[in-house]
Amino acid sequence: MKKIIPTLFILLLAAQSISAQIAVKNLQVEHRRKPIGLDVKQPRFSWQLTSEKRNTMQSAYEIRVAKKEADLKRGKNLTWSSGKVNSDQSVYVKYAGAELESDTKYFWQVKIWDNTTKSSKWSEVAFWQTAFLDNESWQAEWIVPGYEEDTVQRPSPYFRKEFTTAKSIQSATAYVTAHGFYEAFINGKRLGDAWLTPGWTSYKNRLQYQVYDVTSHLQGGQNAIGVSLASGWYRGKLAWKDGINHFGKDIALLFQLQITYTDGTEAIIKSDNTWKCSTGPIISAEIYDGEVYDARKEIQGWYQTGFDDSNWSKVTLKDFDKSHLIATYNEPVRKKENFQPINIFKTSNNELVADFGQNLVGWVQLKVKGKAGDKIDVYHAEVLDKEGNFYTTNLRAANQKNTYILKGGEEEFYEPHFTFQGFRYIKIEGFPGELTKDNLTAVALYSDMEKTGTFTSSDSLINQLQHNIQWGQRGNFLDVPTDCPQRDERLGWTGDAQAFARTAAYNFDVKNFFSKWLQDLEVDQINGSVPHVIPNVLGEKAHGSAGWADAATIIPWTMYLAYGDTAVLEAQYESMKAWVEYIKSKSKNDLWNTGFHFGDWLFYRPDDDNSGRAAVTDKYLIAQSFYAHSTDLLVKTAKVLGKTDDIEKYKKLLKNIKAAYNKEYVTGNGRLVSSTQTAYVLALQFDMLPENLRQQAAERLVQNIKDYNYHLTTGFLGTPYLCHVLSAYGYNDVAYTLLMQKKYPSWLYPVTMGATTIWERWDGIKPDSTFQTPSMNSFNHYAYGAIGDWMYRNTTGIDTEESAPGYKKITIKPVIGGGFTHAKATYASNYGEILSGWEMTENELTMSVNIPVNTTATVYIPTDSREAVTESGKLLNEIKGIEILGMENDYLKMKIGSGKYSFKVAQQSE
């Protein structure tokens, strides 16, 4: 008899099939979603895959590109079709179609086949829009104020232009940049949501412009453009000794509007001698000193049509360079989190103070009602002193003050435009009436990096430490990796950046952020040597310090490991090589013992105990260690890029560097001339010692830690590697003891003192609540947050294999310890989210692991018995797709594919 399959069963099978089907999501071009203004002539495509089925891989892909979305969907009039390509590559696939055109939108989509030959549907349609692909596209002219400028306060100039559109508009795109900061409007609507544009680069070599889709801003008939400027990083006060005009004395605007009408014709509105200019309510604006805004001088309607600008001045044309103009590649600075005060109070000094509960970078918005001419001063500080009073001594020469002068009448709203502050507390003077929490909102500003990492544990102090690390990154990753956001500095210190780069890449997506900054590093190199800060505003003599300048090699390699993109190595290879060659030129017999070096900056030094045991590490020993490390990274990079001649050349050099190190700094018994934690950490991390001397060096390191009663003594250069070295040599228990140490010096000491960000010094606030040296005492200084890297890679065990970087091949190897009962981390890789979490009870260990589609993972389960492990309630030998690789150092090692896994390990009774 013929069997009849119930309709319900068929529907269930169909539903299962749909849920298991592979799909494509998160389409990106050059690591950005739907970017507008891309000047890359052969952009790369990336996508992620989703499937409920385990062990799913991509086996092939097909990409298609068209200028019109309708053509793309029909598969007609394509700019490029890759055809079916048999490959598991799903990141950074290079466009290979017809030559791209400037100022043009392209639509694209992708479909893929999995490892069972099943195909996905075509993905959603994504797009990118090109910027100017050649300098000839720029028709706009540089304009500067035509009036005589106040060279002391340097009030913000306001520019405007009216124009007419006579036809129906299809699209409109604005291209804008400036010498200084700018804020632009069309018909009263702000262009974009970015702040502090055009960002900070080495302006004489690379000046970014921004691209905006302004189709919705325009109207039929008369239109108006308005742009205000401020000195910004270009000519504003930077560094010390009232240094101004680092890149130029002028303040200038370049603006070009490309309009395409529905009939196919085009028009260009550009900055030229028909524009007008004046000054307005922004009396002064400086990064360090804040903004003065006089609302009585506001110009109603200045950026709208019909405004009478007959009293405005003409502009002056300038023949400034355009050849160095580049489209913006990194994420711009945007407004992020908002904070209301958690307390408003009077101090013992009768100061009116508001506490926002979080040390942050940004500004404060004011709502206020009062009389015309009422003046409100808002001062910013990170901490209160021992008596609870407002403390600004550590700001040095930075005023960090915004001033608002009321126009009177209805409630007024004010926020700064062209400055930023680092603060948790504000002091307000001159506020009319009673100040309430509703009057104040603190707005965080930082580069709009996607958050990629989370880390939580059973220990609340460690969770606060992770919070502090991430907020230190938020506050200091403000277009460049600044060292501090509050005092008269805020510079892109290279040493801080290289120390923190791997942690940064776990917490946030920093690929574009660092790619942009590294290009400025290269153009600012001085005969191969790397300046202390990038962009370099400290002069031609401030360069070449070991551990700082090595950012040239360390950060590109770190970005390659984190994102798996060889492009950063290709872009930076000559820079990396130039730095190594510079050191070589300063060395004698392969020993680098010349020049200025910061050394192990801000290491622990008990100046008041007279023990003579300060942790001073020989600066030339450090320099030789980093010389070797940079050379080693150059060799690795040459291998990735296939530069055969350089591989052998620098392998030989590396061997000689290590030989010179051992001859100069190591005794016959393996003792280092500097018997400090940092000396041994660098020797072991960079493989400076012969193998037969390494374990005893690790023992000496541990003994040193014990001698300091299980405290660290490392500074900026030793700290990032300290726990990694301990773990590598079998001392996870000591690494955890250091991590969990609550007394100074330690990572948790600032947490116990109420820190909400990472401090510059181990004891920025001393146990008696007094302060460290105020001239060098930032409370938002991310370098020591580098321990976050160890927490991700060891506590929860998430790492990438060097042979398949960017988490194409993942390692999950958690280290149980620290007294934690549970810990969990997630990381949003290029392929999707990775999860590793564990929980320990009296009877069993549970491990949760998520592996993205199109990747594989080597997973280590802490156990000494394979039979004690189950996955989703089944014995391992019952599960298809899990490959047991054997036991290794108290771990069961296995290989798995994509999917969600729940491992349980029964704890054996003693």
856 by DSSP, 3-state: which?
Answer: strand
Summarize pLDDT for 406-436 with one digit per residue, the tens: 999 999 999 999 999 999 999 999 999 999 9
Cβ–Cβ contacts within 10 Å for residue 148, how many? 7
Burial 95-129 (b: 16+ CB within 10 A, else e): bebeebeebebbbbbbbbbbbeebbbebbeebbbb
The answer to whether residue 489 is catalytic is: yes
E-only strand ranges, 166-199: 169-179, 181-186, 189-190, 194-195
Name every residue whose Cβ is closer than 8 Å to that of residue 300 and which is 6 or more positions away in sequence.
none
Biggest alpha carbon–alpha carbon distance for the chain: 100
Residue pair 359/471 in contact (Cβ under 8 Å)? The answer is yes
382, 489, 522, 871: which one is catalytic? 489
| Rounded Cα distance, 543 and 712, in Å | 29
- Phi, psi at residue 361, to the nearest 5°? -125, 130
What does the pLDDT average to over 134-146?
96
Residue 14 DSSP one-character state: H
366 by DSSP, 3-state: which?
Answer: strand
Residue pair 258/173 in contact (Cβ under 8 Å)? The answer is yes
Instruction: Check pLDDT > 50 for residue 450.
Output: yes
| Rounded Cα distance, 779 and 756, in Å | 9
141, 162, 760, 871: which one is catalytic? 760
Structure token digits, residue 77: 């009039």
Summarize pLDDT for 195-238 with one digit per residue, the tens: 999 999 999 999 999 999 999 999 999 999 999 999 999 999 99
Element (H, E) at 828: strand 822-829
pLDDT band at 615 (very low <50, low <70, confident <90, very high): confident
Q: How many residues does the chain have?
A: 910
Cis status of the peptide bond prior to 556, with omega within 30 of 0: no
Q: Cα dist. 148→145, 271, 313, 373 in Å? A: 8, 20, 10, 26
What does the pLDDT average to over 751-775?
96
Summarize pLDDT for 318-353 with one digit per residue, the tens: 999 999 999 999 999 999 999 999 999 999 999 999
Name every residue whose Cβ is closer than 8 Å to that of residue 395 and which is 6 or more positions away in sequence.
381, 486, 487, 488
Summarize pLDDT for 251-298 with one digit per residue, the tens: 999 999 999 999 999 999 999 999 999 999 999 999 999 999 999 999
| Rounded Cα distance, 899 and 198, in Å | 42
Instruction: Check pLDDT > 60 for residue 446.
Output: yes
- Would you state the pLDDT for residue 606? 64
- 446: left (phi > 0), else alpha (psi -120 to 50), else beta? beta
Say what angle helices 551-563 and 619-641 make with each other, to 10 degrees: 40
- Phi, psi at residue 111, to the nearest 5°? -130, 155
In the chain, what percentage of residues exceed pLDDT 90?
Answer: 95
Rounded to the nearest integer, the mean pLDDT of the chain is 95
One-letter-per-residue 3-state SS of 525-588: CECCECECECCCCCCCCCECCCCCCCHHHHHHHHHHHHHCCHHHHHHHHHHHHHHHHHHHHHCE
Q: Cα dist. 143→179, 213, 272, 302 in Å? A: 10, 23, 7, 18
Say what angle helices 677-685 and 619-641 make with each other, to 10 degrees: 20
DSSP code string of 586-646 = H-BTTB---S----STT----TTS--S---PPPHHHHHHHHHHHHHHHHHHHHHHHT-HHH
The two beta strands, 290-294 and 401-405, are parallel
User: Which residue shows structure tokens 């040239």?
Assistant: 552
In the chain, what percentage of residues exceed pLDDT 70?
Answer: 97
Say what angle helices 691-707 and 719-728 make with each other, to 10 degrees: 120
Instruction: Check pLDDT > 80 for residue 908.
Output: no
Cβ–Cβ contacts within 10 Å for residue 25, how many? 11
Q: Give me the amino acid identity at 783.
A: A
| Rounded Cα distance, 191 and 135, in Å | 23
Which pTM was predicted?
Answer: 0.96
Cβ–Cβ contacts within 10 Å for residue 384, how many? 17
- 822: left (phi > 0), else alpha (psi -120 to 50), else beta? beta
CA 222-223-224 angle, to 5 degrees, is 135
The answer to whether residue 52 is catalytic is: no
- Would you state the pLDDT for residue 607? 56
Q: Cα dist. 797→236, 448, 734, 789, 863 in Å? A: 45, 27, 17, 10, 15
Summarize pLDDT for 15-42 with one digit per residue, the tens: 444 445 899 999 999 999 999 999 999 9
139 or 9, higher pLDDT? 139
| Rounded Cα distance, 580 and 574, in Å | 10
Radius of gyration of the chain (CA): 29
Instruction: Check pLDDT > 80 for residue 14.
Output: no
Question: Of the candidates 99, 108, 134, 123, which has an alpha carbon nearest to the alpha carbon of residue 34?
Answer: 108
Residue pair 846/904 in contact (Cβ under 8 Å)? The answer is yes
Q: Please report how many Cα atoms fall inside a 13 Å half-sphere around the Cα of residue 148, on the Cβ side.
A: 0
Instruction: Check pLDDT > 50 for residue 181.
Output: yes
| Rounded Cα distance, 187 and 258, in Å | 16
Name every residue whose Cβ is closer than 8 Å to that of residue 423 and which is 6 or more positions away in sequence.
356, 359, 360, 380, 381, 382, 400, 442, 486
Instruction: Please provide the distance, in angstroms rounded to a whole number, between the alpha carbons at the two ends of the chain.
Output: 62
| Rounded Cα distance, 92 and 79, in Å | 19
- Would you state the pLDDT for residue 1? 40
